[in-house]
Structure 1
Amino acid sequence: MNISMKRVGAIFIKDYKEFSRNYAVSIMLLFPIFFAFLYRGTGEPQGEIYAFILNFSLAMMTSFIQACLIAEEKERNTLRSLMMTPASMLDVLLGKSALVFTMSAAVLALSTYIYGYEPTNLPVLLFAVAVSIVLYVAVGTICGLYSRTVMEATLSVFPVLIIFTAGPYAQLFADKFPVLEAARYLPSSQLMELLGGASGTDAVEPLVVITLWAAALTAISFILYKKRLKDQ
């Protein structure tokens, strides 16, 4: 399937203009910065708090914005028109994801600087965060495609926020409820494990698990987009 960078760029610019006019959505960019200021210098384990900031921000910002942008297109019936243009599936999904990916990366980088997190392995951190952004963009795409309105998209993101943010802490109750041991394999739990001090070969498993999650959810978003295209 061919990718037209011109079409991707046009969709990126269109989304940017719509995003800049929607203050109810764009305000989400402030949450990671707010939490970075709130938790810096608290004396808590730096890696764990930073992982919480990342997990919460990715769900509340990345997934939320992506879901709302797509749901807004559906609500105004412009997504149907976009699907019928010569733009391929990859053109549309890359164009609609590029803006959210870029904004997420920039805001998380600023939040990291504000919080003062000092990674022991910068390339590993960059890779983990980049793949996590892809993962949460895919989640937002799925939520947006399943939603008929922006309000529905807003509500659909909350289970993601609760499960992925609280998932790492569910393991604390695994002794009483063994089923909660499965929460260890959530991408948010793996990210917290990675930032909690995993290094060398110990860092391989978290990176692999996060990458598998990102690949699986991206594939699901592609399949769902194709299904919506046929439904039209």
Structure 2
Amino acid sequence: MGISARKIQILFKKDFKDILKNISISISMIIPLFFAVLYKYLFSDIPMPRAYLLMLVLALNLTMTAVMIPATSIAEEREKNTLRTLALSNVSGFEFCMAKMLVTSFFLLVTNIIIFLLMGEAVKYLPAFIVITLIGAVPLIVLGAAVGLAARDQMTAGVYEIPLMLVFLFPTIFSDMNSVAEKIADLTPCNTVVEMVLILTDGNFLSKETLFPAVVTLAWIVVAIGIFIWLFRRKGVDN
């Protein structure tokens, strides 16, 4: 059965409404925005480098939103055996997962733009910022979807999500502590996105500095898609 854009669109609308009703997912999207407001306005008297603040909030949003939404929502649907009902409408498992990942990209796009504006970055960088963060988030979103496939239910998904989020978040946050932490961070998908955004906001995006994080991001996209396809073929979404 071929992929139907119309079915994905219908599923997108359904998932959009379901995600807004899910309290845990909604909180995961609010937390990075809360920290952005907190550090930007309430703690404005405390000296903090602009780059570090942007890195912290953006990394938090990338790891929480990009991983948690697809993982939790797919696990929830698997727990409810929703696909058995959708199968009556000839909805494939791939269309089901694709809609989840697209709606995740939408919410991530919205929250990233809000963070960008809250941080007071130059609006001229916004189009490139959107492209970088959307492409850079692909491996995180796909891995989040893989977690949803691997989990039996929402509780199991939560257990799997946290280590994955911490593995990607901590190296980015502590990358300035020493050279070892920096080298580890340079190989993580979250940090490469942050690095490219910081290079962009410094006005050096077309320099050679962008090459390495871009290559690492592409490598992670390939790895993440490979893991997702393997899990999808092995477990499916309705077993």
Q: TM-score range by the shorter chain?
A: 0.7 to 0.9
For residues 50 and 164 of structure 1, the distance between their equivalents in structure 2, rounded to whole angstroms, comes to 16
Which amino acid in structure 2 is aligned with residue 9 of structure 1? Answer: Q
CA pair 184-171 structure 1, distance change in 2 beyond 3 A: farther
When normalised by structure 1's length, the TM-score is: 0.85
Separation in 2 of the partners of 1:66 and 1:229?
Answer: 15
The separation in 1 between residues aligned to 2:213 and 2:123, in whole angstroms, is 16
Displacement of 1:77: 1.6
Query: How many angstroms does 1:12 deviate by?
Result: 1.0
User: 1:67 Cα shift?
Assistant: 0.7
The answer to whether the 8 Å contact 2:83/2:237 transfers is no
Cα distance change on mapping 1:107 and 1:115 into 2, 3 Å? same
Q: Distance in 1 between matches of 2:149 and 2:164?
A: 15
- CA RMSD in angstroms comes to 2.6
Aligned partner of 2:194 in structure 1 is 192
- Counterpart Cα distance in 2 of 1:134 and 1:179: 23
Q: Distance in 2 between matches of 1:72 and 1:137?
A: 16
Q: In 2, are the aligned partners of 1:171 and 1:184 still within 8 Å (CA)?
A: no
Structure 1 residues 89 and 151: alpha-carbon distance in aligned structure 2, compared to 1, 3 A threshold? closer
The one-character-per-residue Cα deviations of 1:181-223 (angstroms, maximum 9, x if unpaired) are: 3342112232333344363111121122112212320232122
1:160-194 Cα deviation digits (max 9, x unpaired) = 221111113256344xxx59833421122323333
Residue number in structure 2 paired with 1:213: 220
Give the CA deviation at 1:124: 4.3
Question: Could you tell me which amino acid in structure 1 is paired with residue 149 of structure 2?
Answer: L
Residue segments in structure 2 that go unaligned for 5+ positions in a row: none
**TM-score, length-normalised on structure 2?**
0.83
Q: 1:154 to 1:194 in 2, by over 3 A?
A: same
Structural mapping, 1:160-179, within 5 Å: 160-168=164-172, 169=174, 172-174=177-179
The 5 Å alignment of 1:54-203 reads 54-82=58-86, 86-118=90-122, 121-168=125-172, 169=174, 172-174=177-179, 181-197=183-199, 199=205, 200-203=207-210
Q: Secondary structure of the residue that 2:121 maps to in structure 1?
A: coil
Pick closer, same or farther for the CA change 1:81–1:189 going to 2, 3 Å: same
Encode CA deviations 1:95-148: one digit per residue, 9 max, x unaligned. 121111101101110121112133885554333201122222112111111111
- In structure 2, how many angstroms separate the alpha carbons of the residues matched to 1:39 and 1:88? 44
Residue 10 of structure 1 is matched in structure 2 by: 10
In 2, the alpha carbon distance for the partners of 1:74 and 1:89 equals 11
Q: Please state whether the residue corresponding to 1:185 is helix, strand or coil.
A: coil
Matched length: 229
Give ranges in structure 1 of 5+ residues lacking alignment. none
Deviation at 1:19, TM superposition (A): 1.8
AA at the equivalent of 1:216: V
Identity %: 24
